[in-house]
Copies of this chain bind each other. A is one copy, B any other.
Amino acid sequence: MERRPSSEEAASPQEVKSISKASFRRLPRYHQIMRAFEDLGRKYISSKELSEILEINETLVRKDMADLSIRGKPNQGYSIQTLRQTIEGFLGLKEPTEALIVGGGHLGKALAMYPGFDNYGLRIMGIFDNDPAKIGSDVNGLIVEDVEQLCRRVEEKQIKLIILCVPKDAAQPITDEVIACGVRAVWNFTPQELHVPKHVRIRNEQIVAGFMALSYYLKSLPVEEM
């Protein structure tokens, strides 16, 4: 007779093999919701409750949980802690990721000062600019360094992730430079289209995209879900 794992065993974070793109995209929201519910002292959450928050179908939530190899308890729901930890494990948020910020403008500074990154293992190890007026100034305990030092620091600290907050025209040269020094991922807050080798991953953060969706809604009511 086949032995099935009991719910209690399943309540510890599981190894996740593979996951659909669609589920993957929902993970950050699940994670955020778990954090909010943990703060409220909740231990379990049902697929129904999650489906209402995310405005998706109940069954889809259950499929997502299945993708994550998370098992729920009948009549109780899913363990909030397990779900959060499984997502963290899957995304690699438990191991720290060291990153450098390039660009000490408003956005670069705002990111450097953002206290929330700690919760995701993101450690801002330095901030760089080419403006002599900014170099040497203190941003949340970090001293702004000359961008000339950037590559040296990337190599010294074996930095794999760069956060780009520079003016458009500086984006590609800096990207080329840091990739040559071993960077594997660029979180690009500039509107520049970046060209990179295959082994480097770009994430284009287009803040204004969020506004576009809202603009559409405001200008063309009534409208359904997008």
Contacts and interface: CB of A to CB of B under 8 A. Distances in A.
Interface of A: 21, 24-25, 27-29, 31-33, 35-36, 53, 90-93, 95, 97, 106-107, 109-110, 113-114, 116-117, 120-122, 160-161, 184-185, 187, 191-193, 201, 203-221, 225-226
B217 A185 contact: yes
Contact of A36 (B36, B91, B192, B208): B192
Contact of A215 (B92, B193, B216, B220): B92
Given A21-B226, A27-B212, A219 B95 contact: yes
Contact of A214 (B116, B201, B225): B201
The main secondary structure of chain A at its interface with chain B is helix
B28 A206 contact: yes
A92 B205 CA distance: 21
A78 to B, nearest CB: 17
A190 to B, nearest CB: 10
